[in-house]
Amino acid sequence: MPADNLASLLATATARLKAAGSDTPTLDARLLLQAATALTREDLILGPDLRLTPEQQSVFEGLLARREHHEPVSRILGSREFYGRDFKVTSATLDPRPDTETIIDAALKVMPQGARLLDLGTGTGAIAITLLAERPDASGMATDLSPEALAVAGENATRLGVADRLTLREGNWFAPVTGTFDIILSNPPYIPAGDIAGLDPDVRNFDPALALSGGSDGLDPYRVIASGADARLGEGGHVLVEIGAGQAGDVEAIFAARGFSASGLHRDLGGHTRCLGFNRAEK
Ligand code: GLN
């Protein structure tokens, strides 16, 4: 039996992924087909009648089956684009989300010349590395509790050419941090522990639990960050944190109790409040 051509393979794959619950079945099918064949997007458009080799067909089938079991495409491919750059992603790191680009835009607006930044719970390093890549005059430190995640951040920093300006430290929040910074950032785990079982399987089964759970009410990391920020923030410095749905009021109260006032509220493309900025309150 002759192999199916690309166009019909893509149509079948898209229908299968849609049936399996993917929100983006057409895109997923195309990215997996490209990964299985090393064909570019242009090749797919220009060559709908191309046929796969039997080896390519079986690789593609394997990738499709993984996606049907809810493994995100970024994890299958081992990389994810964030703010226009490719980041290595592994089972030890949170998969950086487009929503997190909100904190990048917010930070770029307040970073002074020669900024020193601190990224707490860096995961893939997406936040720190993106900011250092965008601002060649900046330098900084990034921490993570997970040595495996920190190794991934190190690889990403090297690949994206910022390793000489980024110090990576293993440890819990501020524990391994020395020095002071112009900007302290974090996209901490903020899901209430009891909500994790109800998350989408793409998230629940593939993002590391350590990167998701924010304790019983989801706010524990903000308490730690708010209590430690004053000692590590330079004069006129800013704190920027990503937050979950409905957390703005609680997070503002946590920071207010530690002497910080809100300096900005930043929405993601979906219109949700996604990032809060804080300064030291006037005495
Ligand atoms: N800071 C990393 C990111 O935004 C990891 C966040 C996390 O693990 N919660 O991708």
Q: Is residue 164 part of a domain?
A: yes
CATH number at 157 reads 3.40.50.150
CATH code, domain carrying 49 = 1.10.8
Q: Are residues 271 and 148 in the same domain?
A: yes
Ligand 1 neighbour 240 (Cβ under 6 A): no
Q: Does residue 214 contact residue 191 with C-beta atoms inside 8 Å?
A: yes
- Write out pLDDT tens, residues 193-210: 999 999 999 999 999 999
Q: Looking at ligand 1, which atom is closest to the CA of residue 100?
A: 4
Ligand 1: does its nearest atom lie under 6 Å from the Cβ of 121?
A: yes
> For the chain, what is the domain count?
2
Q: Taking 90 as the threshold, does the pLDDT of residue 1 lie above it? A: no
Asked if 43 and 127 sit in the same domain, the reply is no
Residue type at 54? P
Tell me which amino acid residue 68 is.
E
Cβ of 92 closer than 6 Å to ligand 1, yes or no, is no
Say if residue 242's pLDDT is above 50: yes
Domain identity same for 42 and 126:
no
Is 143 part of a structural domain of the chain? yes
The percent of residues in the chain predicted with pLDDT above 90, rounded, is: 91
Residues 42 and 92 in one domain: no
| Span 94-133, pLDDT tens digits | 999 999 999 999 999 999 999 999 999 999 999 999 999 9
Tell which phi-psi region holds residue 96, choosing left (phi > 0), alpha (psi between -120 and 50) or beta. Answer: beta
> Does the Cβ of 241 fall within 6 Å of ligand 1?
no
Which residue is closest in CA terms to ligand 1's atom 1? 122
Confidence of residue 282 (pLDDT cuts 50, 70, 90): confident
Which residue's CA is the closest to the ligand 1 atom numbered 6? 187
Instruction: Confirm or reject: Cβ of 122 under 6 Å from ligand 1.
Output: yes
Which atom of ligand 1 is nearest the CA belonging to 96?
10
Q: Whose C-alpha lies nearest to ligand 1, atom 4?
A: 187
Q: Which domain holds residue 259?
A: 79-280
SS3 labels along 29-98 = HHHHHHHHHCCCHHHHHHCCCCECCHHHHHHHHHHHHHHHCCCCHHHHHCEEEECCEEEECCCCCCCCCH
The answer to whether the CB of 145 falls within 8 A of the CB of 178 is: no
The ligand 1 atom at the shortest distance from the C-alpha of residue 189 is: 9
Residue 123 Cα, ligand 1 centroid: separation in angstroms? 5
User: Does residue 138 share a domain with residue 172?
Assistant: yes
